[in-house]
Structures are given as C-alpha cells and as structure tokens.
C-alpha cells in the first residue's frame, strides 16, 4: 500500500516489526511491552533514551532544553502553552485552522495580539509579519499547515520567546531550532503513533506567570518528576524511540531533509505540468510535507479515485474544510510511493 495519510501516517516497516515483537516479548523478558511497569528499569531506560535522542537529532543544548512526552495531543498544548507562559499579552501568527484553535485557547488567559494573518488569502500564503520590538510574553507560530500545504521557510526573527507548533514537520528538515524556546508536536506524523505530544522546552521561560497551574497542566511539575508525573504511555514512548532511532540510522534530520525535498520536488513538478490540476498554496511557501491540490473539473475526481484504488494508493482525500486532495510526504514514505502516484496522474492525463 502507498499511504499518503496526513496523520496518523506511515511509519518505517522496521519500526512496525520491532514494535510487534515487543508486544509479544520485550527483549526476552517474557513480558509484553504493553504490561511492563512505567517505573521499571526497562521503561526508565526507554524514556531516558527517547528524551535524549529527541534533543540530539535537533542539536539542542541539553543544559537548556528538556523533553517531555505528554499524554493527549497537540490540541492540549494549545491550552497548556498559554497556561504556563501567558502573563499579560502573547503574539500569534494566524496561518489556518490549527493556529486559530491555538489563538482561541490563549484568549482564555490574557490578551492576544495578531502579528500576521493569511486569512485574507484563504491561507494560501505565509503572511508578512509585523514583528516590532515588544514586551510580548511570547510569539507563537505553526511551522507547517497541513490543510493548506504551506510552510515557514525560516524562523521568525523576534526579541521575545518563540513557541512553535511543529506537529507536521518536526524532524523533517533542518531549521534553526535553537531559536525556538518551546516546540510542541502531536507525535502522529514524524515521531510515532497517535496518543502523545512531544514538548521540547527551554526551562528558562517557565515559572514566570505567577499563576497557580493544575499539576497535570504544569510543565514544571512534569519536569520535576522526570516526565513520570502519572502512569506513562509506555508503548507510545517506546514506539517513538524506535522511530527516532530509525531516523538517526538514516543519517539524521540532515539526510531525511534531502529525501523529503526530492519527494516534494518530483510531485510538485508533475502537478505543475498538468493543466487540469491546481495546487493550493503559493509557490514561495509550498510545504514539503503536505502537497494540496484539486482538479479543475469535479468529474475528474471519480476517475482519479478509481486509478488510485487500482494502484493501492490510499488516504489522499483533502481535509474536510477544504476538500480536494492532499498527498502527505512524511519521513517514512518511500520515494517509490511518490513515483506510483505520479504514474497514476500520468494515466489520468490520458483519460481526461
């Protein structure tokens, strides 16, 4: 199968195989990974390696940054970020549905200043930013927008702490990660199976709101307890570790970026040659993770769907708010799958 799902998405086959074996017997222990204690030496070793490798792959300074695997999703971080960081006023950049949801949660805790929005272009672009010097508590942006296929090319240059939702492009490319003080991501794209979020946080930005925060939502509480405030999602963290090890063995983010660029270039070049196809995002901010397109005649959809089914190409439907199609090219998607999709498009061209 050639799975272009926007998430949960394809993971490396060797990760599936290793995880499946661990479900039956974790490293000869006679126990399933599903039943080992979150306080056991086995899991403490898994957690420590995963937290360390998460930072190593992005070249983040471990004396400043710490990793947290949090139960829930990135949507919970929309709430947890302002709860922990917003004292008076925060800046947000609006690039679509997910940033809008983050803004709505932040408004529960203080004033939100819109520092840029691409709403006027139906989120086809990355907006021009109004980044004057300010006393903002932090600036939040979403690095990649899965629904519209747009992506920031660089980290915004500001003099306040930066927060970034990197759910859909973390570990996919080189980026100036050290300029970002808090990175969060739902793990179900390039990190692991759904059910967790990962937070990479510069500890120096925490504890400044003078707010009483419920323990479960307090980043500092999770740090003080070494990410073991409550029973951990043992299998989820283990699966993330397997995927991070795989990424390291591929040559790290630097190597995977080249593969991702090649996949995206091949697909965009093909789509640009077809006069019955329109891509959604502006060319100067196209995402290498999510290629969003539609046909200029709805009658073509059924033909395309049939060809995809014959070729075992699945999960191309666009987000329900936009429609059309979306090919997600996450790290584990092999370039062969892109070639198969391109062949489907070439066959479609002959029928149109």
Would you list the domain boundaries of the chain?
13-249, 252-351
HSE-CB at 124 with a 13 A cutoff on CA atoms is 10
What CATH number was assigned to the domain covering residues 13-249? Answer: 3.40.640.10
Query: Who's near 35: CB < 8 A, 6+ residues apart?
Result: none
Task: Flag whether 188 is marked binding.
Answer: yes
* Active-site pick, 94, 165, 181, 218: 165
Task: Flag whether 98 is marked binding.
Answer: yes
* Active-site pick, 98, 169, 218, 263: 98
Secondary structure of residue 91 in the 3-state scheme: strand
Mean pLDDT per 10-residue section of the chain, whose length is 352 residues: 94 97 97 97 98 99 98 95 98 97 98 96 92 86 98 94 98 97 97 97 96 97 97 97 98 98 98 97 97 96 98 96 96 98 98 91
The pLDDT of residue 133 is 64
The pLDDT of residue 11 is 96
Task: Flag whether 75 is marked binding.
Answer: yes
The Cα 308–Cα 342 span in angstroms is 10
> What confidence tens digit (pLDDT) does each residue in 150-187 have?
999 999 999 999 999 999 999 999 999 999 999 999 99
13-249 and 252-351 in the same fold: no
**Do the strands 150-151 and 144-145 form a parallel or antiparallel pair, or are they unpaired?**
antiparallel
The crossing angle, in degrees rounded to 10, of helices 234-249 and 13-24 is: 140
| Domain 252-351 -> CATH class | alpha beta
98 a catalytic residue = yes
189 a catalytic residue = yes
* Active-site pick, 94, 137, 169, 189: 189
Q: Rounded to an integer, what is the distance from CA 279 to the centroid of its chain? A: 21
The pLDDT of residue 8 is 92
Paired tokens of 292: 């969003």
The pLDDT of residue 232 is 96
On whether the pTM is more than 0.85, the answer is yes
How far from 133 is each of 74, 128, 270, CA to CA, in Å?
A: 28, 16, 43
The pLDDT of residue 130 is 74
Going by C-alpha positions, the residue among 171, 216, 258, 274 that lies closest to residue 79 is 216
């Amino acid at each position: 199968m050639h799975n272009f799902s926007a998430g949960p998405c394809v993971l490396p086959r060797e990760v599936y195989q290793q995880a499946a074996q661990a479900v039956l017997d974790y490293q000869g222990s006679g126990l399933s990974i599903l039943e080992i204690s979150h306080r056991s030496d086995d899991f403490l070793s898994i957690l420590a390696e995963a937290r360390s490798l998460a930072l190593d792959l992005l070249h983040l300074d471990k004396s400043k940054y710490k990793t947290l695997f949090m139960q829930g999703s990135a949507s919970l971080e929309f709430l947890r970020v302002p709860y922990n960081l917003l004292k008076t006023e925060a800046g947000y950049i609006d690039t679509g549905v997910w940033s809008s949801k983050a803004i709505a949660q932040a408004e529960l805790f203080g004033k939100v200043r819109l520092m840029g929005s691409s709403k006027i272009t139906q989120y086809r672009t990355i907006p021009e930013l109004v980044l004057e010097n300010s006393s903002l508590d932090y600036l939040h942006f979403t690095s990649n927008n899965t629904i519209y296929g747009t992506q920031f090319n660089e980290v915004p240059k500001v003099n306040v702490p930066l927060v970034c939702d990197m759910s859909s492009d973390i570990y996919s490319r080189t980026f100036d990660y050290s300029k970002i003080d808090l990175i969060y991501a739902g793990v179900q794209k390039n990190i692991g199976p759904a059910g967790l979020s990962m937070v990479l946080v510069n500890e120096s930005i925490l504890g400044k709101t003078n707010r009483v925060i419920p323990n479960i939502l307090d980043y500092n509480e999770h740090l003080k307890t070494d990410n073991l405030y409550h029973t951990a999602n043992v299998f989820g963290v283990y699966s993330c570790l397997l995927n991070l090890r795989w990424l390291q063995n591929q040559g790290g983010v630097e190597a995977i970026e080249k593969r991702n660029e090649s996949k995206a270039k091949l697909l965009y070049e093909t789509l640009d040659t077809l006069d019955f196809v329109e891509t959604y995002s502006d060319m100067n901010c196209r995402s290498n993770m999510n290629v969003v397109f539609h046909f200029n005649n709805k009658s073509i959809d059924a033909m395309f769907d049939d060809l995809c089914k014959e070729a075992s190409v699945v999960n191309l439907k666009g987000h329900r708010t936009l429609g059309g199609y979306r090919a997600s090219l996450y790290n584990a998607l092999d370039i062969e799958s892109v070639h198969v999709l391109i062949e489907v498009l070439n066959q479609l061209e002959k029928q149109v």
